[in-house]
Structure 1
Amino acid sequence: MKNMIGQFSRERLEALIDDEDCRATVSEQETFAEIVLALQNAPGKIYQIRKLDGSEEWQQWEEVDEGEYHASVNYEGWGRRVLYGAPATSAPDGWKLVPVDATRKMIDAAKCIEEDGYDAMHKAMLAAAPIPGGSDAN
């Protein structure tokens, strides 16, 4: 999908949005459709609902499972939305993807410098964390 998205410069996308005379070509329309389908089929869908009665407690969207999301369509006064996103495969500068549960290697790295404090332990665990998809991911 990155290759499909890379076909469009920022300027071209802004022109398609802002310029009334600018129209997407048939090829661009097909690529947009492929991107949307890929996102809709990607893991990581988040289903959200909220009550539309104006009460403060329901101002925020609430995450729900897919079944509850589809059930809420039968009730008036509910807003529904699906957020699409592919799983992260890289992290922004200053961030690192780590396992949800610490690996044995991460725990051992923290134990080795426990006396240096939590910040040092945290840094040691990050350094010992496996790279997603790498051979030491378990």
Structure 2
Amino acid sequence: MINDLEQFSVERLESLAKLSSDNTVIFAVNEVTALARIALAAKSAEPVAWVTWHQGFRAPDDCEEYLNAYTHATEEKSCDGSSAFPVYDKPYLNTPEIPEGYKLVPVEPSLKMMEAAVTCEDASFDDDSDMICIHHEVIYKAMLAAAPAPEDS
């Protein structure tokens, strides 16, 4: 699939993506077959692994995060209770619909997202154990709330 992609420039793909039903276009057979192979490969993408993330404490003030990888779908949960997420070895076609409870966010956090992370009330002090608890879900929710909508980016 990568070799098929290499024959298309970004400009060519952008021009193809902007076509409407009003356009009359003549395609070279090799372009049509390459695009069909790319689409088939992406459409048939299957996960190669499933990953969960966890935290471990070597000492009260020494936290480490780590991942567990599985070669098959698993009911195992991450430390935050989320399901294992799939990992693909080739592009996976995004569905145009975003499921309820999900939000499309940029790969790199925006400045507003990072500001939200550092200004939210993400920590509490436990008097009984003299430990500071970091509430990652509060940070995550603050960053999601500050994430730009796709058309804003």
TM interval, shorter chain, is 0.3 to 0.5
Whichever structure has more helix as a proportion of its residues is: 1
Q: Which has the larger strand fraction?
A: 2
The normalised TM-score by structure 2 is: 0.34
